[in-house]
Amino acid sequence: MSTSAIPAGSTRGNTGSIAIVGALFFIFGFVTWLNGPLISFARLAFDVSETLAFLIPSAFYISYFCLALPSSLILRRTGMKKGMALGLFLMAIGALVFGQFTTQRVYPGAVAGVFVIGAGLAILQTASNPYISILGPIEGAAQRIAVMGICNKLAGMLAPLAIGALVMHGMGDLSAQVATADAATKAQLLDAFAARIHGPYMIMACLLALLAVGILFSPLPEIRAEEVNSSGSSRTSLFQYPHVWLGALCIFVYVGVEVMAGDAIGTYGAGFGLPLDETKFFTSFTLFGMLLGYVVGLIAIPRFISQQRYLALSAILGVLLVIGAYLTRGYASVGFVAALGFANAMMWPAIFPLGIQGLGRFTEYGSALLIMGIAGGAVIPQLFVHLKQTHDFQLVFLLLMVPCYLYILYFGVRGHDAGREKMSASRH
């Protein structure tokens, strides 16, 4: 297949562009990994059940499913650069809505704000992921996305710490006070707690809007995907590329296991009766594992191992760690879940370029299809939180996670090559 890059001819000539896109990955890493701590925040601030609190990540990830295909149509008209700016601006609106409704303790409004933030990220990710994938040879895309992942997960490690320090400090004591307070005092305590979110989210909204303007005037080059990601095939429909459909399902299950290991780890730890003031920081442990995984991947791919082989090995490691979590208890079990961050780290960087490889003029639509798969982050954790009400939570975790990792293993070994032989034959 063709592996031609943008006119510069190599990643080395695009260091500035990679740095700018890296800053974008830092931003949506910070915003995305706020969802884990926000589950605990919502449960207390809005006085809702655990199931309703999980609407926060569900609304966020389901927005990708709803907005990814419209995003591809938008990007065909605006180009990737303007599309990234539009995504940032929409995120700013979502942050404004979430901060305002949360301060007023109107839960449907807060969930709507999270949905709008996710919608902005759907546009941003639909543009930025293929952009960085084809900003150089596709075989080295996993390495470039690993750099993006480091930016993303550094932000993700900071997000729980920042919201913990600014908003969620003293939650254990506050929860105890609320449990024994009369109705009027309880309302006052929760109103004051919810109001802590207002300032940070207003600042976030302003920064996102400023960054949107900055991207418009940045030196990022426009890239035409049909010129740099072509397989030379004469195919006329996305349905003729089975690997992209298998890749979308792979993204679905991957994001599901990522959210389970990251956002749901606090709920998992709480199942052992671990203190709330500790479980709110567990997401940072997972993200530290992911950061280590990105560093290893950055060194290894493609110098020592192909991105598809590394993906397969990561899936096998994921299965082993899930089994380890099931066979242990307490902090040891939580440690195995956090270690899934290492196994998960290079999955997105490998799946995404393998999924869009050779799509040519269908790259934007294929990217949108893969981005729709992010909805797995809404579905799989919701299955977990519902099933754990009536079954052992460790068993539920095992039965949900292992099949996901086995499918990722299939995609890494065979699925990414589906239809390749037929495509090659059509060119001869």
Round to the nearest angstrom and report the end-to-end CA distance of the chain. Answer: 13
Nearest C-alpha neighbor of 347 from the set 422, 277, 396, 405: 405
State the Cα–Cα distance between residues 422 and 248, nearest whole angstrom.
20
How far apart are alpha carbons 138 and 358 in whole angstroms?
Answer: 9
Whether 222 has a pLDDT exceeding 80, the answer reads: no
Residue 128 confidence (pLDDT): 79
Q: How many helices (H) and strands (E) does the chain have?
A: 21, 0
Q: For residue 87, which of 139, 25, 155, 152 has the smallest C-alpha distance?
A: 25
The pLDDT tens digits for 260-300 are 998 778 888 888 887 766 766 677 788 888 888 888 888 88
Return the closest-CA partner of residue 66 out of 127, 123, 131, 130.
123
Q: Worst-scoring range by mean pLDDT, 38-42, 159-163, 254-258, 306-310?
A: 159-163
* Three-state secondary structure call for residue 217: coil
pLDDT score, position 425: 45
Per-domain boundaries in the chain: 11-220+238-426
For 253-290, letters b (16+ CB in 10 Å) and e give bbbbbbbbbbbbbbbbbbbeebebbebbbbbbbbbbbb
Q: What is residue 86's predicted lDDT score, i.e. its pLDDT? A: 92
Integer Cα distance of 104 and 351 in angstroms: 41
What is the reported pLDDT for 428? 44
* Residue 156 · residue 345 · CB < 8 Å: no
Question: What is the predicted pLDDT for the residue at 10?
Answer: 45
User: Where is mean pLDDT largest: 33-47, 154-168, 249-263?
Assistant: 249-263
Q: Which of residues 172 and 197 earns the better pLDDT score?
A: 197
pLDDT tens digits along 335-346: 999 999 999 988
Question: What rounded mean pLDDT belongs to the chain?
Answer: 83
Say whether pLDDT at 90 is over 50.
yes
Count CB neighbours of 9 within 10 A.
12
pLDDT digits (tens, 9 = 90+) for 115-156: 999 999 888 888 877 777 666 665 666 677 777 778 877 887
Looking at the predicted structure, is the pLDDT value of residue 333 above 90?
Answer: yes
Q: Where residue 185 falls among pLDDT bands split at 50, 70, 90?
A: very high
Work out the percent of the chain whose per-residue pLDDT is above 90: 35
Contact 340, 290 (CB under 8 A): no
The arithmetic mean of pLDDT across residues 175-180, rounded, is 88
Please name every residue paired with 230 in a beta bridge, in sequence order, or none if there are none. 359
The residue that leads in pLDDT, 55 or 1, is 55
More confident of the two residues 351 and 6: 351
105-121: average pLDDT: 94
Compute CA distances 159 → 30, 33, 114, 135, 156, whole Å.
Answer: 5, 6, 16, 28, 5
Determine the average pLDDT of the residues in 9-20.
63
202, pLDDT greater than 80? yes
Q: Which of 161-170, 260-269, 320-329, 361-370 reaches the highest mean pLDDT?
A: 320-329
For residue 359, the SS3 value is strand
* Residue type for position 273: G
**Tell me, which fold does domain 11-220+238-426 have in CATH?**
Growth Hormone; Chain: A; (1.20.1250)
Give per-residue pLDDT as tens, 380-428.
Answer: 988 998 999 899 999 999 999 999 999 999 999 988 887 655 544 444 4
Residues 6+ apart with CB under 8 A from 359: 225, 229, 231, 238, 241, 244, 365, 366
